[in-house]
Amino acid sequence: MADRRYIGVSHKRLEDRALLTGAGRFAADLSAPAQLHMRVVRSPVAFGRLRGIDAAAARRLPGVVVVWAFADVAHIPPIQIRLTKIGGLEPYQQTVLARDYVRYVGDPVAVVFAEDPYVAEDAAELVVPDIEELAPCICATDPPGEFMPATLPGVSTEVAVVRKSYGDLAAAFAAAHRVVELEVAVGRHTGVPLETRGALAEFDPASGVLTMRGAAKVPHYNRGQVARMLDMPDEMVHLIEGHVGGGFGVRGELYPEDVLVCHAALRLKRPVKWVEDRQEHLMATNHSRDQCYRLRAAIDARGFVLGLEAEIFSDQGGYVRTHGVTVPDLAAAMLPGPYVVPAYRANVHVRLTNKTPAGTYRAPGRYESTFARERLLDAIAHALGRDPIEVRRTNLVPRERMPFDRGIDTLGTRVVYDSGDYALLLDKLLAHLDYERLKAALAARRAAGERVGLGLGYFVEKSGLGPADKAVVSIDAAGTVEVVTGAASIGQGIETAMAQICAEVLQVPLERIRVVHGRTDRIDYGMGAFASRVTVMTGCAVQAAAEALREKLRAAPSGTPAAAEGWFRADHMTYPYGIHAAVVRLDPGTCAVHVERFVVAYDIGRAVNPMLVEGQIVGGAVQGIGGALFEELVYDENGQPLATTFADYLMPTLAEVPPIEALVTEDAPATQNPLGVKGAGEAGINGAGAAIAAAVDDALGRPGAVTRLPITPVRLHRLLAAGG
């Protein structure tokens, strides 16, 4: 009998029954008897010397158990960098409560524990920080200043310059037919999961175990950090994930609040609950993007880029958080994208400002660098009077050159595009769009007075970051299979995908498989969920474990319980790629941009569950459109954040986005893993800013008009007013 196929089938999500019937349990749903509620007191000013905290009135409020300031937690070390640990960043790490300085509006300065959440908030209002205000820096292209002038004299707010280069740039510019330059910027955005951060920590004196529920993204790593910071053995600390209402890079990193909740549960010997409110989320959870690119390209007469020079400014906000210089590193490594670019040099100035600290957000460093690179390709096409698509074809890495070694590293791995047929995907997209007809139709509409346009953004993604993942697959006497992973679920459907991979090997129905994730008490090793890595890394570990189990079962009588372990290791990432295409209509009367059509073409290598891939693409595209047109974390000149509610941080709704068309291909399976899979998480968002900017240019009839995202009505009004 032929094996039944599970991989490649759009199975309904196993996780949805609980979620759709209201049985989901998110952080705020958790409670424990006699729990205390934590409320953080945050700095109201962007930059200043913290001279003291007056908590006397708060302490007197009935129901308040304790109020802590830095002195009470001085023994807890600052939060370490998780990724891209380059040297020299240590002084910039954030302590769990501010010590001598506050560095952004929202910086935790004290923390209140009370019997109920209302009293906690009442008390937090009564805590008065004494802050000597200093002039804030809110722009990363301004000259760097001092991080904490009085206590760390001479420590600059330029924390690092990330440099990447290859090839002979001088020769490229010497041979250039022309040099094309531009400066573009992407505003500050953030991932906005519907579920804000939250946690419930409990200490069990009988076993000595500290448990924090409400974990997400990287529970194993965070367990190790909490244990180290609170001076406990790893195995006495457990982090457990419940349902998670979205992550997008920001949720689940280790933040001051996580450590404070755990520390309080230990010290106060009572369960401690904390739920972030939306206003806190928008000023305390990581921000992202906020980069400025100055690009110079040496081109030949056909528009082939001989050399590219990039000066990039990355605004990291108040401190260096867990992501270190991940975003700048990825920006510099991925800027050349799908193009050959024989010579390249990028310097990324990683600078601190007095804004919320920044980290990764879905397609970190790529949403931005794709925008900049594709603006550049459009500028080159315009400079030479060539069709933007032809200029891209001239520059695409040809299939024959795969695997393509970029000649630089990122996240500690060599950038080697493992497989891809970039020209083929472009052909498929153009066929899907019926490109010539579409162009003609848009031209006709423009001739009739409409402001419509089409734009494209080509990108290479990266996925499946190593080094390793582990899975344990077991079967009991009743034939129920359990897959235990160290992955995390941020809503992306990993239970379903892992079950499909396991089912394919063991040939058991999906309903018989239970997938465990996000629990440090069930498996000793886990890398969690980030960087579009789970299907590749955890998926291959699940496959290996299932295969090992199948071998064990071959010899055993049926009904024998058994378990097997599997590992997957990878030194290199795998590189999917895609193209976004947008058709927009401008309303000159209101200066609004209406997205009429949005297409994402994406080569996934191999899709475990096409429906889940499409879901990732659609959700990502909506966020990408948000970043292109609506979302921006604006600050005033005093460093006050102006978008701290959903009335001001505008995420697109159904009314603002068209149906997203996903054109998923499987032409270039990954060569680095046995499943041939590449990641899907960031496909939908990567090129959205680039495509929409190009479409707006086209609609305006002014190549290069858009230099900044988001393209808000005010900005479009200025463009229209300037150019008629």
Partner 1 sequence: MKPAPFRYDAPATLDETLSLLAEAGEHGKLIAGGQSLVPMMNFRLARPGRLFDLNGVAELDFMRVEGARLRIGALTRHAAFHRPPCEGPTGALLAEVVRHVAHYPIRQRGTFAGSIAHADPASEWCLVAATLDAEIVARSRAGERVIAARDFFVASLATALRPDELVTEVRLPVLGARWRTGFCEFARRAGDFAIAMSAVALRLDAGIVREARVGVGGVEDRPSRQPAAEQALAGRPVSPAALAEAADAAAREVKPMTDLHADAAYRRHLVRTTTRRALERAAA
Q: Which residues bind partner 1 (CB under 8 A)?
A: 117-118, 121-122, 125, 277-279, 589-592, 630, 634, 642-643, 645, 647-648, 650, 652-653, 655-656, 712-714, 717, 721
Rounded-to-integer distance, Cα 699 and Cα 593, Å: 10
Q: Which residue has the tokens 């722009």?
A: 139
Q: Which is nearer to partner 1, 112 or 376 (CB)?
A: 112
- Residue 656 CB, shortest distance to partner 1, in Å, is 6
Q: Enumerate the H helices of 269-363 as residue ranges.
A: 278-284, 326-334
Rounded-to-integer distance, Cα 166 and Cα 340, Å: 12
- Residue 449 CB, shortest distance to partner 1, in Å, is 15
Q: Which is nearer to partner 1, 319 or 649 (CB)?
A: 649
- Residue 720 CB, shortest distance to partner 1, in Å, is 9
Q: What angle do CA 585, 588, 593 make, to 5 degrees?
A: 35
Q: Which is nearer to partner 1, 468 or 592 (CB)?
A: 592
- Residue 525 CB, shortest distance to partner 1, in Å, is 38
Rounded-to-integer distance, Cα 306 and Cα 300, Å: 7
Q: Which is nearer to partner 1, 508 or 660 (CB)?
A: 660
- Residue 122 CB, shortest distance to partner 1, in Å, is 7
Phi first, then psi: give them for residue 71, nearest 5 degrees. Answer: -55, -30
Q: Which is nearer to partner 1, 10 or 645 (CB)?
A: 645
What is the biggest distance separating any 2 CA atoms in the chain, rounded to whole angstroms? 81
- Residue 714 CB, shortest distance to partner 1, in Å, is 5
Q: Which is nearer to partner 1, 167 or 658 (CB)?
A: 658
The candidate with the shortest Cα–Cα distance to 414, out of 680, 603, 672, 681, is 672
- Residue 693 CB, shortest distance to partner 1, in Å, is 18
Q: Which residue has the tokens 């519907």?
A: 194
Rounded-to-integer distance, Cα 458 and Cα 395, Å: 11
Q: Which is nearer to partner 1, 151 or 590 (CB)?
A: 590
Report how far apart, in Å, the C-alpha atoms of 295 and of each of 218, 287, 332, 366, 670 are.
Answer: 35, 24, 12, 15, 31
Q: Which is nearer to partner 1, 268 or 650 (CB)?
A: 650
Q: Are the C-beta atoms of residues 370 and 338 closer than 8 Å to each other?
A: no
Q: Are the C-beta atoms of residues 435 and 379 closer than 8 Å to each other?
A: no
Q: Which is nearer to partner 1, 19 or 592 (CB)?
A: 592
Rounded-to-integer distance, Cα 198 and Cα 274, Å: 5
Q: Which is nearer to partner 1, 592 or 664 (CB)?
A: 592
- Residue 650 CB, shortest distance to partner 1, in Å, is 5
- Residue 61 CB, shortest distance to partner 1, in Å, is 11
Q: Enumerate the H helices of 357-485 as residue ranges.
A: 366-384, 388-395, 422-433, 435-447
Q: How far apart are the first and last CA of the chain?
A: 70
Rounded-to-integer distance, Cα 128 and Cα 533, Å: 44
Q: Which is nearer to partner 1, 169 or 720 (CB)?
A: 720
- Residue 121 CB, shortest distance to partner 1, in Å, is 5
Rounded-to-integer distance, Cα 578 and Cα 364, Å: 16
Rounded-to-integer distance, Cα 203 and Cα 225, Å: 17
Q: Enumerate the H helices of 216-365 as residue ranges.
A: 219-229, 256-268, 278-284, 326-334
- Residue 24 CB, shortest distance to partner 1, in Å, is 20
The single-letter DSSP state of residue 29 is G
CA 4 from centre of chain? 36
Count Cβ neighbours within 10 Å for each residue of 326-336 and write b for 16 or more, e otherwise. Answer: bbbbbbbbbbb
Q: Which is nearer to partner 1, 196 or 532 (CB)?
A: 196
One-letter amino acid identity for 136? P
Assigned token pair, 134: 């200093």
- Residue 651 CB, shortest distance to partner 1, in Å, is 8
